[in-house]
Structure 1
Amino acid sequence: MTRLLARATAPLGALLLLAACSGTPDPPERRDVGVQLFQWTWEAIATECTDTLGPAGYARVVTSPPQEHIVGEEWWTAYQPVSYRVESRLGTREQFAAMVETCHDAGVDVWADAVVNHMTGQDDPGTGWAGSSYSHYDYPGIWTDADFHHCGLTANDDIASYQDAAQVQTCELVNLADLATETDHVRSTITAYLEDLLSLGVDGFRIDAAKHMAADDIAAIIEDLPDGTGIAQEVIRGSGEPITPEQYLGNGQVYEFAYGEELRGVLAGSPRLALDLGTSSTWVPSEQAVVFVDNHDTERNGSTLNHTDGEQYVLANVLMLAGTYGTPVVYSGYAFSDRDAGPPQDSAGRVLDATCEQDGDWVCQHRWPEIAGMVGWRNAVGDAPRLDEWSQGDAVAFGRGERGFVVVNAGDDELRADLATSLPDGDYCDVLATGDCTASTVRDGTLTVAVPPRSAQAWDVTSRP
């Protein structure tokens, strides 16, 4: 882990090493990789868009929820709204708008995490971050008790069984006041909030807890949003549950949680099986699936790999970014030992700007050379088909048309092999390496590789010595 963090602090140019091209023309670039900068302040995101995300080729950044929330140190305070004012411990409305503009200037879209299923889970009245008063079912000027569900299906109105769709969508998720999203007033108020964020330049939304709202309710909420507004819904797939991600596809993309969960198991066995993920009819179609190795929930509940898994985590990200299934989102958060722990904060509770220094609080996975390098690689190969597949034991290799080739060695021994590739003959830089160009040669369609244990190498037609 220390090695990975140390490398993450190197200058971006050294990390990416997108070397000057030889005579090979660049293929059409396709940017589709998102990055979730969990609990990063607006000013820190703006700086990162300019210094890292844009140059690295990230297509969009997913921010944490921008609305006013309850006061507290824990990470989940950001997911308990008090009002729809764009004022939070991550920054002011003005800072948020400035961040969006800066990211756009860097070629990076901005998506906001929209918490619209519920309000707070606090039984006692309180005052939110921006000074708004509230109680569990009363938010002056916004909601009254009549705007919430009181399902009456369980002893405390909390969800008790995920096999009961009515409980999942009308009872409370861990005491969070559940909005009656089937009503016109609730729908129009939420729509107005999303429109306000769009007026600040936001390009799309991650709809938090979408599973806990009927798909038709979400459809009504987003119906009047401008064409081209991005929508990605959090619908966690559960075995045998009546609510499935497929029910939400009419609204936009859906996060396919099965991907990260299955990828963890694949790396514990054969990485070759990663190429089959998403081919089952029980998964969301590729063009509507958002995939990830981990996110802020799964890194805490252990259902997926996370940054503490070190080399295995890196290889999982390489396989995701090299693959053809879904639209990938890289996760980048902070280190913690207590699963409730919030990000670094000052004495007033404001989150401190993220810094990617060695052994710091912020993990900055999106800067790790293997992950940042694969983002550029994915952009370079575009939509080229997967071919030249090869596997042996704990290793797998494959190409993407004539544009790129990648080798993943998950084993404990060095991999040495001569591999057939469709890359044009010539010399190529390993885009996952740091420092000066580490060149490999394709001769007569064959690439000779020497890949250290638990590592990966990748080459593309834009990175030539």
Structure 2
Amino acid sequence: MLLPLVVAALTAAVVSASDPYEFDDSNTLFDRQTMVHLFEWRHVANECENFLQFNGYGAVQVSPPNEHIMIYTNDDVPWWVRYQPVSYRLNSRSGTEAQFQNMVDRCNKVGVRIIVDSVLNHMVGVGQKSDDPGHGSSGTASYDGRDGIESFPAVPYSSTDFHDPVCHGDIQDSDYQYNANNVRNCRLSGLLDLNHASQHVRNMAVAYLTSLINAGVAGFRLDASKHMFPDDLQAMLEKLPNLRADIFGTNQKPFVVHEVIDRGGEAIKVTEYIAIGRYTNFNFGAAVASAIWKQSDVAGLSTLGPGFGYGNLDDHDVLNFIDNHDNQRDDQPYLTYKNGDQYRMGNAYMLAWTYGYIRVMSSFAFDFHDQGPPNMGAPNYATGSPTFNPDNTCDARSGWVCEHRWPTIRQMVQFRAACQGRAATEIVTESNRIAFAREQNGFFAMNNADSDWNRQFDTTLPAGSYCDQYDGELKGSMCTGQTITIDNDGKASVRIPARACIAFSVISRIGGRPSPPNPPAGNFQKTAVFLQRNTQPGQNVFIRGGSAQVHQCSSGPFAQSTDPCAIPIVHNSTTPWMYATYRQWSQGDEYLDFEGEELRQGTYDGTHATGTPLAYSTNDAKSVDYQPLNKYGPDYWFVQVLMDCDKTENGWFELKGFMNGWENDIHQSSSCSGSIGGKNPLPNSNNHVAKCGAVSAFTWNSDSCIQANCRTKNSILLVVILRKDWNVIIMSPSHDLIAILVHVIVDSIGIGEKRRSVYRHRLPITESAEVLGRATGELPAHGLYRCVELATYHVQNDPRRRGGCVRVQRPVRPHFGPTPCQDRLAHLPDPLRAEPLRCGLRNQQIDRAAAQAGNWLNCYDTRCTYCGHLSAIALAAVHTGSSFWLMLIFVPYVHQCILPKSLQERSTVNQVTVLSKPSSPIRKQ
């Protein structure tokens, strides 16, 4: 590692303005939102390749990889030696720097990210010395931790780099309640406490983290962040470079989780850290354990989310878990693997519920607190690796527990992947019982009572037979557990045994995943509504509305489908990834109506909606809250939908804001401004009056109004290159459209089935105008294309080929990350720099090429299966020579209103809006 060079560059770095979300994103693939802590594992790369990538795991938290103290006692090396650094060289009990790099490369190659447990707060315990009997280093570094000497030449640190002049002693128990400075300046259990106000200490820490970023890691769990000042942490984190663009795309910051134990009543609060990453939410696991131990009611878990009890903040602030390597060894209120079935229930609930980003623990067996992992004995006491049973669990004789491989936990991780992004709805609670659906993708129930729970539930799932994933598994067409039959109305009679759970999802449907629903009939047009309202963090704005002038509206509840006033809508707002409130409340919201919540409308971690949700927006293009349609200013809450204009009153509809009650009556008497403008066509209304197929902007409790066009234009949304070697490169500004086409290719012609489609080469196209020319007259305003290449095989040689197409009996679900990539087209081999790419395409070329490519294009149906409400999709292919085909997919779309909800629902990745870093702090919604 060239640390001196890195340090020299960092010294001149300028601390940029803080973005409170910049370290919150997990950087994992959309449908792999579970991290596993492979505590003390040595052969992590094998686990990524052989198990994690196939079971929905998206990241691994690895033990600290830096050089650490070694203490030998009774043929054992305690687990906690990994948390006493002697240098920042990558040479630990788990392996060398070369082995670490190999692990990172291999895991990233299969889409599993590496989160490094990083120890920056301290070095070894006072008095520890490398040449003392029974002591040593995992590498070659010497160290002398004697009081006043405190020498670590391999970093280098000396006695002047520690907090001794401020606090020359340990943290006292009372300090945690009354003295935050002592908690951050004094020694934690005798560990030599570094002074992060020192520029030298900061540079050393930043250089270490930078070397890990350069290796390809996705982020960090910062050990003992509670014992470091947030300002010091921010100063260090903001000096870090972006993650590697060839893996994660451009301008991506590392994921950061701070270990901050805040159970209430202490001087240090987790709220001090949420502007610089997430925090380890110890309150989550305690709440789940309390419910399963019947110290509280399981029914209360129906609202476990922001505001539940103490210390549960927003989804994008928390890392939730049932137990971790520290508290599983202490007498604390947490479930561990030693609790057996209760531990299974706790993890199953966590994996089924919607709240936060989560981590699964994977342990070795231990009998006493300090016991280290299984080892291979003297002289090095190298860590042993697990061996496996035929059912993929770990053989207990190897000393490993491997909770992440337990059948229930493995299946529930797959359940979570299948339900990712789907809100909890149809929540049912009884004494010590809870059940909920995951909006058309899954259903989960926990029965903590002493008798079976038999009742009918609305699962929201399509009709069919489903296999229980809690105590069973779907193997081919055979279910090893309970089978649940769902009727056409989504309802099923279910039996949940006492003190057990049941779970099933679209991936456990016997006979295969259900087909996507047919798009609704009607004259759907893109419609946007803005409502200006000053709010405080934690407040949310809804609207209710419909066609009330010519119809008698229903008072409900849940009568929207027969309410003559209700107008059918399909949400298609593009919002930042952290807007969990809008994303969850918008699901199942199928009407703009005056009634309020709909029967199957999604909840926000159990909190119910009170109408059609709006999302906060601003017109500041540098803000993460920016919405291109917002031309009006900050604090404009908005929603963009496809609306059935045939159900409006000659193209007009009414709406009123709702936020813990209605806004005042509106008298929209004067003419509206804007490109449409004009007088109110519904003068008797006491609501805001908006136009279907347009942008309407209003102010809370105000008669003012703006009516503007939402212009429809054609743009290239997808570029597909089919090369002569039958590799496919897909490029788009939209993650979702890439995912859709990958599914089309993989599911329909079986490309890459043998290896689940290896995605080998990725490239960002940051200058789309230069790359694609003027093929359509106007390119999307994103300015950034994302792409992915599928490694394929020649379908013409496949024996299953019928009529020019390969039909796969069991569709292969691809595992990939459609992220921006390293090189621009200009850096690719000559065939990819062909003239049509740079100079644009003439209509004659497109027409001729489309006819030539017709046979291949007919192998799959992009319109009906995957494009939902898009009624017109045009495919064109250009044969640029013998090297590759170029296909352009043209989609009519509203300017800056990129994707309808139907596309978002069919995909496996989130829509990501590419934005520049804010120049000033921004508010959290």
Tell me the SS of whatever aligns to 1:383: coil
Question: Partner of 1:276 in structure 2?
Answer: 303
The answer to whether structure 1 residue 442 and structure 2 residue 486 are counterparts is yes
Q: Please point out which of 134, 150, 159 is paired with 1:145.
A: 159
Matches within 5 A, 1:7-406: 30-41=31-42, 44-72=43-71, 73-126=77-130, 127-136=136-145, 137-141=150-154, 142-150=156-164, 153=167, 156-160=169-173, 161-162=175-176, 163-225=178-240, 226=242, 227-269=252-294, 270-280=297-307, 282-303=311-332, 304-346=334-376, 347=378, 348-356=380-388, 357-360=394-397, 361-406=399-444
Equivalent pair of 2:386/2:395 in contact (CA under 8 Å): no
Alpha-carbon distance in structure 2 between the residues aligned to 1:318 and 1:114: 28
Equivalent pair of 2:31/2:56 in contact (CA under 8 Å): no
Question: Partner of 1:463 in structure 2?
Answer: 508
Structure 1 residue 374, shift from structure 2 partner: 1.2
Structure 1 residue 401, shift from structure 2 partner: 0.8
Equivalent pair of 1:150/1:157 in contact (CA under 8 Å): no
Tell me the SS of whatever aligns to 1:318: helix
| Deviation digits for residues 349-369 of structure 1 (CA, Å, limit 9, x no counterpart) | 211123343323111100111
Equivalent pair of 2:302/2:434 in contact (CA under 8 Å): no
Alpha-carbon distance in structure 2 between the residues aligned to 1:120 and 1:95: 24
Tell me the SS of whatever aligns to 1:119: strand
| Deviation digits for residues 337-393 of structure 1 (CA, Å, limit 9, x no counterpart) | 111100011221211123343323111100111111111111111211111111233
Tell me the SS of whatever aligns to 1:133: coil
| Deviation digits for residues 302-331 of structure 1 (CA, Å, limit 9, x no counterpart) | 321100111111111111111121101000
Structure 1 residue 284, shift from structure 2 partner: 2.1
Structure 1 residue 394, shift from structure 2 partner: 2.6
Structure 1 residue 207, shift from structure 2 partner: 0.4
Structure 1 residue 129, shift from structure 2 partner: 1.6
Alpha-carbon distance in structure 2 between the residues aligned to 1:448 and 1:70: 58
Tell me the SS of whatever aligns to 2:105: helix
Structure 1 residue 279, shift from structure 2 partner: 3.2
Structure 1 residue 190, shift from structure 2 partner: 0.3
Larger Rg: 2
Alpha-carbon distance in structure 1 between the residues aligned to 2:418 and 2:106: 24
Alpha-carbon distance in structure 2 between the residues aligned to 1:29 and 1:99: 22
Equivalent pair of 2:151/2:159 in contact (CA under 8 Å): yes
Alpha-carbon distance in structure 2 between the residues aligned to 1:280 and 1:394: 21
Alpha-carbon distance in structure 1 between the residues aligned to 2:302 and 2:429: 11
Alpha-carbon distance in structure 2 between the residues aligned to 1:33 and 1:182: 35
More moved, 427-436 vs 110-119: 427-436
Tell me the SS of whatever aligns to 1:192: helix
Tell me the SS of whatever aligns to 1:120: strand
Alpha-carbon distance in structure 1 between the residues aligned to 2:41 and 2:301: 31
Equivalent pair of 1:374/1:431 in contact (CA under 8 Å): yes
The sequence identity of aligned pairs, in percent, is: 36
1:31 corresponds to which letter in structure 2?
A: R
Structure 1 residue 39, shift from structure 2 partner: 0.5
2:138 corresponds to which letter in structure 1?
A: W
Tell me the SS of whatever aligns to 1:453: coil
More moved, 332-341 vs 274-283: 274-283
Alpha-carbon distance in structure 1 between the residues aligned to 2:360 and 2:442: 20
| Deviation digits for residues 395-439 of structure 1 (CA, Å, limit 9, x no counterpart) | 211001111101112233332222222112222122231463243
Alpha-carbon distance in structure 1 between the residues aligned to 2:326 and 2:494: 37
2:337 corresponds to which letter in structure 1?
A: H
Equivalent pair of 2:256/2:277 in contact (CA under 8 Å): yes
1:165 corresponds to which letter in structure 2?
A: A
More moved, 422-431 vs 83-92: 422-431
Instruction: Decide whether aligned partners of structure 1 residues 151 and 310 sit closer, same or farther in structure 2, where only a CA change above 3 A counts.
Output: farther
- Normalising by structure 1, we get a TM-score of 0.90
Alpha-carbon distance in structure 2 between the residues aligned to 1:177 and 1:385: 46
CA RMSD of aligned residues (A): 1.7
Tell me the SS of whatever aligns to 2:354: coil
Instruction: Decide whether aligned partners of structure 1 residues 398 and 308 sit closer, same or farther in structure 2, where only a CA change above 3 A counts.
Output: same
Equivalent pair of 2:225/2:258 in contact (CA under 8 Å): yes
1:429 corresponds to which letter in structure 2?
A: C
Equivalent pair of 1:411/1:454 in contact (CA under 8 Å): yes
Structure 1 residue 102, shift from structure 2 partner: 1.1
More moved, 267-276 vs 83-92: 267-276
Alpha-carbon distance in structure 1 between the residues aligned to 2:506 and 2:137: 52
Q: Any unmatched runs of 5+ in structure 2?
A: 1-28, 72-76, 131-135, 243-251, 389-393, 511-925
Alpha-carbon distance in structure 2 between the residues aligned to 1:158 and 1:287: 31
| Deviation digits for residues 277-309 of structure 1 (CA, Å, limit 9, x no counterpart) | 223174221111100000001101132110011
Equivalent pair of 2:170/2:189 in contact (CA under 8 Å): no
Q: Any unmatched runs of 5+ in structure 1?
A: 1-27
Alpha-carbon distance in structure 2 between the residues aligned to 1:196 and 1:335: 33
| Count of matched residue pairs | 435
Alpha-carbon distance in structure 2 between the residues aligned to 1:414 and 1:363: 30
Equivalent pair of 2:302/2:427 in contact (CA under 8 Å): no
